[in-house]
């Protein structure tokens, strides 16, 4: 669909978008029946759902990362599979395998748990690289090859992977090719005092009786995705997106002395993902156009896992987050 340019077209699309974004507000209210706080995580999960972009969710154990993804799946009338990643997991446990049937003397494909809509890859960094790599084709190509056969995956298909911080024992850092497949990397932090008090009152019971209702379905999600393609992005906003990504690759061109600190910057996939995420953000706000604030709000989650720091940066205790922050503060918003 062509990008809209006239005010009348944007106004017309705004009405459609306000209507189409309603189910997503219902999802939030359902998830909040179980989850306390974590508004940012829920918002980012909706952006992933709207754009088909996968999420990497990082935080220490016990912060309801798994509960958040499971609650989202219940609020949507769709398939859900939780896969617990462990050091002894094999690729076949994920995608499936060929099983020999002696009576028929043939091999039959037995599909794995990856054949669903929402996939929760729990503690993804506990499994070795060969298992993590088995996800690559599924995440990027939306298909799986078992033996000589290739199978299309269902639509919508979304991987939400949780991981504990890499410093903990018994974990395998995700390869760069794997992390780049994730649209967003969301850091989940501890709740504040008021939220903690709310968690205590709501959850300190021997049995939970909160039921989440399905408030939307895959057809509504796919219809919303079509509307996202119609959201208007002004040339200045496009320029801002490109400038942010380019500043991670050649910071000196933007007057930033960060080149010795950056091993490599964001790929073109980062540019595409930032534009898509900004459109989804506008959609959730009921708008038919993207503002620079949409871009800035999501830039950290798009870039923090795509900007690799050098040993020099590590020696100076500079993280990818602090480098992205400097870029965001330096590149002017239109």
Give the pLDDT score at 256.
Answer: 92
Q: Mark out the alpha helices in 192-267 (DSSP H runs).
A: 193-203, 218-228, 235-249
Mean pLDDT of 57-76: 85
Domain 11-202+215-229 matches domain 231-334 at the CATH topology level: no
Domain boundaries, the chain: 11-202+215-229, 231-334
Q: What percent of the chain has pLDDT over 70?
A: 96
* Confidence band, pLDDT 50/70/90 cuts, at residue 163: confident
Whole-number Cα distances in Å, 1 to 4, 21, 88, 250: 9, 19, 46, 33
Question: Would you say 10 and 289 are in contact if contact means Cβ atoms under 8 Å apart?
Answer: yes
**Least confidently predicted of 56-70, 252-266, 273-287:** 56-70
What integer is the mean pLDDT of 276-289?
Answer: 95
Q: What is the pLDDT of residue 3?
A: 46
Pick the CATH number of 11-202+215-229 from 3.40.50.970, 3.40.50.2300, 3.40.50.300, 3.30.365.10: 3.40.50.300
H-assigned helices in the chain: 7-20, 22-31, 39-51, 65-75, 91-95, 129-141, 176-181, 193-203, 218-228, 235-249, 268-284, 292-303, 311-315, 320-330
pLDDT of residue 154 exceeding 50: yes
Task: State phi, psi for 40 to the nearest 5 degrees.
Answer: -65, -40
Instruction: Check residue 205 and give its pLDDT.
Output: 76
- Structure tokens, 97: 């395998």
Q: For residue 273, what pLDDT is reported?
A: 97
Q: What is the mean pLDDT of residues 76-92?
A: 90
Q: What is the mean pLDDT of residues 107-111?
A: 89
Mean of the pLDDT values across residues 270-274?
97
pLDDT band at 168 (very low <50, low <70, confident <90, very high): low
Of the pLDDT bands very low, low, confident and very high (cuts 50, 70, 90), residue 309 is: very high
> Who's near 239: CB < 8 A, 6+ residues apart?
334
pLDDT confidence bin for 135, thresholds 50/70/90:
confident
Determine the pLDDT at residue 6.
66
> Residue 133: which pLDDT band, with cuts at 50, 70 and 90?
confident
Helices (H) and strands (E) in the chain, counts: 14, 11
The mean predicted confidence, pLDDT, of the chain is 88
Q: Label residue 169 by pLDDT band (50, 70, 90).
A: low
Sorting pLDDT into bands at 50, 70 and 90, what band is 5? low
Note the pTM of the prediction, 2 decimals. 0.89
The pLDDT, as a whole number, for residue 140 is: 86
Q: Does residue 2 surpass a pLDDT of 60?
A: no
pLDDT of 1? 38
Fold that domain 231-334 belongs to in CATH: Helicase, Ruva Protein; domain 3 (1.10.8)
Is the pLDDT at 171 greater than 80? The verdict is no
């Amino acid at each position: 669909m062509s990008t809209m340019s006239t005010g009348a077209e944007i106004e017309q699309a705004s009405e459609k978008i306000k209507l189409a974004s309603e189910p997503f507000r219902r999802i939030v209210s359902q998830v909040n029946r179980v989850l306390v706080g974590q508004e940012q995580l829920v918002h980012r999960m909706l952006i992933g759902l709207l754009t088909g972009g996968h999420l990497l969710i990082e935080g220490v154990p016990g912060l309801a990362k798994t509960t958040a993804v499971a609650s989202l799946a219940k609020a949507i009338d769709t398939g859900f599979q939780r896969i617990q990643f462990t050091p002894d997991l094999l690729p076949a446990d994920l995608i499936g395998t060929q099983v020999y049937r002696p009576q028929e003397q043939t091999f039959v494909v037995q599909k794995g748990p990856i054949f669903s809509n929402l996939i929760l890859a729990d503690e993804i960094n506990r499994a070795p690289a060969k298992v993590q790599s088995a996800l690559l084709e599924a995440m990027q190509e939306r298909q799986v090859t078992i033996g000589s056969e290739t199978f299309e995956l269902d639509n919508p298909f979304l991987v939400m992977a949780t991981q504990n911080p890499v410093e903990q024992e018994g974990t395998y850092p995700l390869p760069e090719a794997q992390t780049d497949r994730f649209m967003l990397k969301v850091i989940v932090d501890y709740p504040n005092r008021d939220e903690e008090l709310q968690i205590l009152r709501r959850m300190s019971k021997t049995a939970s009786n909160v039921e989440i209702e399905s408030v939307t379905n895959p057809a509504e999600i796919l219809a919303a995705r079509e509307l996202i393609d119609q959201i208007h992005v002004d040339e200045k906003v496009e320029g801002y997106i490109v400038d942010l990504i380019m500043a991670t690759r050649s910071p000196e061109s933007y007057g930033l002395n960060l080149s010795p600190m950056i091993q490599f910057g964001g790929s073109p996939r980062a540019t595409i993902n930032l534009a898509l995420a900004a459109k989804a953000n506008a959609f959730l706000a009921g708008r038919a156009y993207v503002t620079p604030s949409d871009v800035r709000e999501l830039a950290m989650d798009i870039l923090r896992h795509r900007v690799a720091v050098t040993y020099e940066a590590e020696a100076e205790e500079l993280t990818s987050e602090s480098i992205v922050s400097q870029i965001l503060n330096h590149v002017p918003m239109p």
